[in-house]
Amino acid sequence: MRDPLLQYPGYILRRASTAAMAEFASRIVVLGLRTSEATILQIVAENPGISQSALGRMLDIQRANMTPIAARLEARGLMRRLPSDGRSLGLELTDEGHLLAEKARAIIDTFETDLTNRIPAEHRAHLMPALLALWPSADA
Amino acid sequence: MRDPLLQYPGYILRRASTAAMAEFASRIVVLGLRTSEATILQIVAENPGISQSALGRMLDIQRANMTPIAARLEARGLMRRLPSDGRSLGLELTDEGHLLAEKARAIIDTFETDLTNRIPAEHRAHLMPALLALWPSADA
DNA sequence: TATTTATGTTATAGTCTATAACAGTCGACA
DNA sequence: TGTCGACTGTTATAGACTATAACATAAATA
């Protein structure tokens, strides 16, 4: 029972990412949040007034798929959608949204620390720059 | 427009993986294959007779979800499912399956080479061991 | 032998993604 | 200033992937 793809970094990237995402999802669900929702709360907290479209571009979520996600967060009382000009909706968290975003941030911090600690020390510093090179959108 | 999660390796892992998987999917689709199908062809080629369940465990695909995938490959004439004992199905590729597996392997090779080349040389050797440490199932 | 475990299957639901079409608005520019 | 192209948000829809429960059957084990 040999996996001939184990030598390929792209394959390992996919498998490691899937496993990590599943673990994170199981941790964040205790707040009633999905991974994408936890992410959105963080970004809107940091960028109040950001439009739905701009948020979608930041996260590679298409406009059409953004609509129900944002509507759901608004319906839960976590986020407001205020018309900024005639077509755009500016997003901002409610007080309750900020509170939940902070709780989510704590879970994220713990998760990321756990993840980092699993990496052998001599490789740790190399992971981020290597991954960033694989992520074209990270123009920074 | 700041992304406060850019400092987190788990987040970058997810984003990099998503981008890489999308790129691979767009390359492998020219063979009429999905990512999971291309993977399965490689593994069955390397492990003829492997059971559906064992394959599923190897790829973290559940039995129930394995059924339609395997049935689809069989219906396309790429794979055979032969009863090995009264309950298990042993998988093996047809001639056509082997041919397509080889074409898929060429695309995989090119893709993985391209991916590797994007990583700055000084980080390259560290990516695999770091990712393997994040993937608990890689007991190897 | 009796009980437990494993395999494959069906059915079903949920999540995420992708595309097309539409109405309304904004901005550039002739 | 008026027009045209680009942008925003929305709805509807389809596809892929995942997760769970229930079932029949077969194998393994105590």
Q: Looking at residue B1, what is its pLDDT?
A: 85
Q: Which residues of A touch B119 (CB under 8 A)?
A: 9, 130, 133-134
The parts of chain B modelled with pLDDT lower than 70 are 137-140
Q: Looking at residue A140, what is its pLDDT?
A: 41
Q: Strand C: which nucleotides have any atom within 7 A of a protein Cβ?
A: 6-12, 15-21, 24-27
Distance of CA B128 to the CA centre of its chain: 16
Q: Pairing relation of β-strands B79-83 and A79-83?
A: unpaired
> Which contiguous run of DSSP H or E holds residue B22?
helix B9-28
* Three-class SS of A93-115: ECHHHHHHHHHHHHHHHHHHHHH
Q: Which of A102, A117, A85 is nearest to A44 (CA)?
A: A102
Q: Strand D: which nucleotides have any atom within 7 A of a protein Cβ?
A: 7-13, 16-22, 25-28
Q: Looking at residue A86, what is its pLDDT?
A: 86
> CA A93, CA B7: separation in Å to the nearest integer?
22
Query: Any long-range contacts for B108-115 (C-beta under 8 Å, 24+ apart)?
Result: B108/A5, B108/A8, B108/B24, B108/B28, B108/B38, B108/B42, B110/B27, B111/A10, B111/B23, B111/B24, B111/B27, B112/A8, B112/A9, B112/A10, B112/A11, B115/A9, B115/A10, B115/A134, B115/B20
- Asked if A106 is an interface residue toward chain B (Cβ–Cβ < 8 A), one would say no
Q: Looking at residue B51, what is its pLDDT?
A: 97
- A26-61 pLDDT, tens digit per residue, is 999 999 999 999 999 999 999 999 999 999 999 999
Q: Which residues of B touch A6 (CB under 8 A)?
A: 138, 140
- Please give the mean pLDDT across all residues of chain A: 95
CB-closest option in B5, B58, B140 to A39: B5
Please compute, for residue B138, the number of CA atoms within 13 A of its CA located in the half-sphere on the CB side.
24
Instruction: Show the CA angle centred on residue B9, arms to residues A71 and B3, nearest 5°.
Output: 45
Q: Which ranges in A1-120 belong to alpha helices (H)?
A: 9-28, 35-46, 52-59, 63-75, 95-118
CA distance B4 to chain A (A): 7
> CA A83, CA A71: separation in Å to the nearest integer?
14
- pTM as predicted: 0.94
Q: Looking at residue B140, what is its pLDDT?
A: 41
Instruction: Give the CA-to-C1' distance from B9 to C2 in angstroms.
Output: 52
> CA A76, CA B78: separation in Å to the nearest integer?
48
Q: Which of A63, A48, A50, A33 is nearest to A93 (CA)?
A: A48
Instruction: Tell me the residue type at B3.
Output: D
- A90-114 pLDDT, tens digit per residue, is 999 999 999 999 999 999 999 999 9
3-state secondary structure of B106: helix
> CA A71, CA A114: separation in Å to the nearest integer?
32
Instruction: Give the CA-to-C1' distance from B45 to D25 in angstroms.
Output: 29
